[in-house]
Amino acid sequence: MHLRIWRGGRLVHLYIYPRLDIGHLLQPVEILSYEMKPLPVDPRILSLAAQVTESSGQDVPGLLLKLKDILTSALPGSNELQKIKQDLYYYDLVQYCLFVLKQDYTGVLGGWTTAAQLAEILSICCVGLEVKEEPEEFFNKLLPSAVDNLLFLGRRLEALFSPAVKDEERSEFSHNFKTVTDALCRLCEGHVQLTVKVLQNEQFQQLLKTDDIEISTVTMSILEKILKINTTVLLELPEKSLHCILDELVYKLSSSTNPVIGSTAIKLLLLITKSDTQLLMTLVLRYKGLQTLLSKQWTGKGFDRNLNQLMDLLYSENYKVGKTQRLQQAACLIQAAWRGYQTRKRLKQLPKAVTTLQRNFRAKRERELQILRKQKEEEDLHQQLHLQRQRAMRMFHERQLTMLEIVHAGQVDKHMLEIKEKSALTIQRYWRAFKTRRNFQLQKKSLQQYKAAVILQRAVLRFLEKQRKRRAYSFWKQSRSLSDEERLSLQQKVDDHIRLHPASEMSEEMSRELHHQAQENLAKYLLRRSQDHKAEQHREALLAQVHTDVDQLMCAASLTESTVKDLNDFVSRSVPVIAKAKQSHITMLKYTQSPWWKKIGEEFSDEDVISEDLLSSELGALFIGGSKT
- The residue-averaged pLDDT of 89-102 equals 79
Residue 579 belongs to a domain: yes
Boundary residue ending a domain (175, 205, 230) = 230
In this model, does residue 16 exceed pLDDT 60?
no
| CB contact set of 22 (below 8 Å; sequence gap of 6+) | 14, 16, 53
At residue 19, the pLDDT reads 34
Full-prediction pTM beyond 0.85?
Answer: no
Window from 340-344, 375-379, 412-416, 516-520 with minimum mean pLDDT: 412-416
Run of H or E including 602: none
Residues 132 and 107 in one domain: yes
At residue 296, the pLDDT reads 79
In this model, does residue 380 exceed pLDDT 90?
yes
- The residue-averaged pLDDT of 85-101 equals 79
Contact between 184 and 151 under an 8 Å Cβ cutoff? The reply is yes
Q: What percent of the chain has pLDDT over 90?
A: 10
- The residue-averaged pLDDT of 392-398 equals 89
Tens digit of each residue's pLDDT (9 = 90 or more) over 552-583 = 777 777 767 777 777 776 777 777 877 888 88
Residue 477 belongs to a domain: no
CATH number, domain at 187? 1.25.10
Window from 27-41, 193-207, 385-399, 545-559 with minimum mean pLDDT: 27-41
The whole-angstrom separation of Cα 332 and Cα 325 is: 10
**Residue 597 DSSP label:** G
Burial class from Cβ neighbours inside 10 Å (0-12, 13-18, 19+) for residue 559 reads: exposed
Residues 293 and 151 in one domain: no
Confidence of residue 89 (pLDDT cuts 50, 70, 90): confident
In this model, does residue 356 exceed pLDDT 80?
yes
Q: Which residue has the higher pLDDT, 597 or 357?
A: 357
Residues 209 and 102 in one domain: yes
In this model, does residue 611 exceed pLDDT 70?
no
Contact between 172 and 113 under an 8 Å Cβ cutoff? The reply is yes
- Rounded to the nearest integer, the mean pLDDT of the chain is 77
At residue 379, the pLDDT reads 94
Window from 155-164, 210-219, 245-254, 436-445 with minimum mean pLDDT: 155-164
Contact between 45 and 66 under an 8 Å Cβ cutoff? The reply is no
Confidence of residue 619 (pLDDT cuts 50, 70, 90): very low
Window from 61-75, 373-387, 459-473 with minimum mean pLDDT: 61-75
Confidence of residue 429 (pLDDT cuts 50, 70, 90): very high
> Which ranges constitute the DSSP H helices of 349-406?
350-406
- The residue-averaged pLDDT of 445-456 equals 85
**Cα distances (angstroms) measured from residue 564 to each of 226, 554, 623, 626:** 56, 18, 15, 20
**Cα distances (angstroms) measured from residue 131 to each of 42, 126, 406:** 18, 10, 131
Identify the three-state secondary structure at position 450.
Answer: helix
Domains identified in the chain, total number: 4
In this model, does residue 11 exceed pLDDT 50?
no
- The residue-averaged pLDDT of 30-35 equals 40
Phi, then psi, of 491 in degrees rounded to 5: -65, -35
At residue 615, the pLDDT reads 44
Boundary residue ending a domain (540, 568, 596) = 568
| Angle ∠(259,254,211) on CA atoms, nearest 5 | 70
Residues 88 and 214 in one domain: yes
Residues 210 and 65 in one domain: yes
Residue 110 belongs to a domain: yes
Residues 159 and 293 in one domain: no
Bridge partner list, 624: 627
Confidence of residue 161 (pLDDT cuts 50, 70, 90): low
The whole-angstrom separation of Cα 576 and Cα 4 is: 76
The neighbour count for residue 188, using CB atoms within 10 Å, is 24
In this model, does residue 384 exceed pLDDT 90?
yes
Residue 535 belongs to a domain: yes
- The residue-averaged pLDDT of 464-485 equals 72
Residues 200 and 72 in one domain: yes
Window from 68-77, 146-155, 459-468, 474-483 with minimum mean pLDDT: 474-483
Residues 177 and 261 in one domain: no
Residue 468 belongs to a domain: no
The residue type of 108 is V
Confidence of residue 167 (pLDDT cuts 50, 70, 90): low
Nearest in space to 585 (alpha carbons), one of 597, 596, 598, 572:
572
Boundary residue ending a domain (288, 320, 348) = 348
Confidence of residue 601 (pLDDT cuts 50, 70, 90): low
Q: Which domain holds residue 331?
A: 238-348
| CB contact set of 440 (below 8 Å; sequence gap of 6+) | none
At residue 391, the pLDDT reads 92
Window from 47-61, 236-250, 366-380 with minimum mean pLDDT: 47-61
Residue 121 belongs to a domain: yes
Confidence of residue 165 (pLDDT cuts 50, 70, 90): low
Residues 209 and 247 in one domain: no
Residues 107 and 212 in one domain: yes
The whole-angstrom separation of Cα 495 and Cα 344 is: 127
Residues 176 and 265 in one domain: no
At residue 610, the pLDDT reads 45
Residues 54 and 105 in one domain: yes
In this model, does residue 318 exceed pLDDT 80?
no
The whole-angstrom separation of Cα 312 and Cα 3 is: 67
In this model, does residue 18 exceed pLDDT 60?
no
Greatest CA span in the chain, whole angstroms?
167
| Angle ∠(614,615,618) on CA atoms, nearest 5 | 90
Contact between 125 and 83 under an 8 Å Cβ cutoff? The reply is no
